[in-house]
Structure 1
Amino acid sequence: MNLSKCVLNVPTKALSRLCLLIPLLVVHNAGAEALEIELHILDAPPLTFVNDPRGYGIVGDVAVAAMTKAGYTVKIHVLPWARAQKHVSEEHDHLITPLSRIPTREDRFTWIASIMPMERAFFSLERRVNSFAQAKETYRKIGVGLGSAQEDILRTEGFSDEQIYPLAIGDNPAQLLLMGRIDAWFNGVPESRYIWPKVSKRKLLMSTVGSSADLYLACSKQCTPEMVEHLREAVEALRADGTVKRVHDLYLPH
């Protein structure tokens, strides 16, 4: 099966990148018409991009490549992140990435394969902290993505509603930090380090890593076992042949 036939719903700009990254894709059921599967992502550079000429980001490109390798047609969906998680969890055979595997989500999804680890920390302009306990005492308002693992983690750690400042899509946490609207930003380390230099030359203080949870390609709670198996095998094959590392280094060369 030709790659261009496997991913008809993936824009040409992203398709060209995938063609370069994976010159030869061996797919299942090569003689059958590819089944179209919905993949839900969000704009979380460099993990996932919604509209970028380079492609879908580290996790997004790997997910699309795995779906293609497993013989599925990719249909990208973008919803507010909390709504996307609810929708995928309640549907059948819908995919979502990047999704952190944390206890509050464990029973809501079928966890297919880890794509990369994700460390999280507090970022601030004024005071660096070394623990969740110190952060509770230090920061009045902490920015987190609405419906994100970061929000769940802070609530699990006992931060108050007054301290947690959920950021909807369109809010720019780096700008809010610069304006003093939030005292700190609790977020993934790669994403924060990627975003900050594009916003300011001021020194960004990072805490010690507060938590770490792998980012997964996940499926609805009710997910066809064969699809789970094929996608899991595809992700591991992409890791084994070096594709995952090449994609990572393309977006984060240092």
Structure 2
Amino acid sequence: MPTPLCLLVALLIAGAATADEPVKLYMPDAPPLTLHHYEGGHGMAGDVVLAALARIGKLTDIVAEPWPRAQISVSRGRNMLIIPLSRTPEREELYTWIASIMELERAFFSLDEPVENFAQARERYRRIGVGLGTAQVGILQREGFSDEQIVQLKLGENPTHLLSLGRIDAWFTGVPEALYIWESSAYREQNLRRSPTLASTGLYLGCSKDCDGDLVAQLRAAISELEQEGVSQRLRQAYLPLQPDP
């Protein structure tokens, strides 16, 4: 199987000839969904979107901002793209939703016996780590978790380290992210346990509320073509780690 980088480079070269002014693409460094380091590719969602942009002849200016600020910048701007954005009720009216890139399953990760549902988690966990500004915050709030239970982690705060030290009781996050980070952490010899999937949302390519209709239509068609041709699946599959037992 070709590496994600080789496949993506071929697609980028194919589309670069007709490129004009670069399109701004806001994305966090959130492996394996999005990655800023080009040497190994740009992640499960990043590679798919960059391939779609190449297919319609658009060069891309990747913008790295803190995730909460990036969301505000894009929603208030014009023709700015953003990934990977969960389509939640709180965000519905703030963006132009171009296309779903993948479905993201979410679960609780801990070092002890996993919970089976949200009710058990509300009772057992005093401190739950979630990414600052992510959809996980809203999911837990809608499920009745208190603000004291929800510990929003900034970029650079290592949830695997906090788990191992007991500073958080559990980590609520996307399954690919947890497995990818744990596999490369210093604590991978410990027995990371996961709950069943308790929430799932589509991860979208979003655009500013004020977004050019032609750009939306072209990208929507390109993403659909990549999915139908199996290219998107190959790009995403390259980043998936081995799944541990529950």
**TM > 0.5:** yes
RMSD: 1.9
**5 Å matches for 1:163-174?**
163-174=149-160
SS at match of 2:219: helix
Structure 1's consecutive aligned runs of 4 or more residues displaced over 4 angstroms after TM superposition are: 14-17
Q: 1:253 to 1:192 in 2, by over 3 A?
A: closer
Runs of at least 5 residues in structure 1 that lack an aligned partner in the other structure: 1-13
SS at match of 1:97: strand
Equivalent residues of 2:102, 2:202 under 8 A apart? yes
What does residue 61 of structure 1 align with? 47
Cα shift at 1:19? 2.3
What does residue 248 of structure 1 align with? 236
What does residue 20 of structure 2 align with? 34
CA distance in 2, matches of 1:122, 1:35: 42
What does residue 88 of structure 2 align with? 102
Identity of aligned residues (%): 49
**5 Å matches for 1:168-247?**
168-199=154-185, 200=187, 201-247=189-235
SS at match of 1:116: strand
SS at match of 2:100: strand
What does residue 57 of structure 2 align with? 71
Letter in 2 for 1:119: E
Equivalent residues of 2:176, 2:241 under 8 A apart? no
CA distance in 2, matches of 1:224, 1:85: 18
Equivalent residues of 2:5, 2:40 under 8 A apart? no
SS at match of 1:48: coil
CA distance in 2, matches of 1:158, 1:67: 40
Greater alpha carbon shift after TM alignment, 76-85 vs 199-208: 199-208
CA distance in 1, matches of 2:183, 2:166: 18
Q: 1:51 to 1:24 in 2, by over 3 A?
A: closer
Equivalent residues of 2:179, 2:241 under 8 A apart? no
**What is the count of residue pairs matched by the alignment?**
237
Report whether the alignment pairs 1:116 with 2:102. yes
Letter in 2 for 1:42: P
Q: TM-score, normalised by structure 1?
A: 0.88
Equivalent residues of 2:99, 2:205 under 8 A apart? yes
Letter in 2 for 1:19: V
Equivalent residues of 1:17, 1:55 under 8 A apart? no
Equivalent residues of 2:12, 2:50 under 8 A apart? no
CA distance in 1, matches of 2:62, 2:136: 24
CA distance in 2, matches of 1:24, 1:77: 21
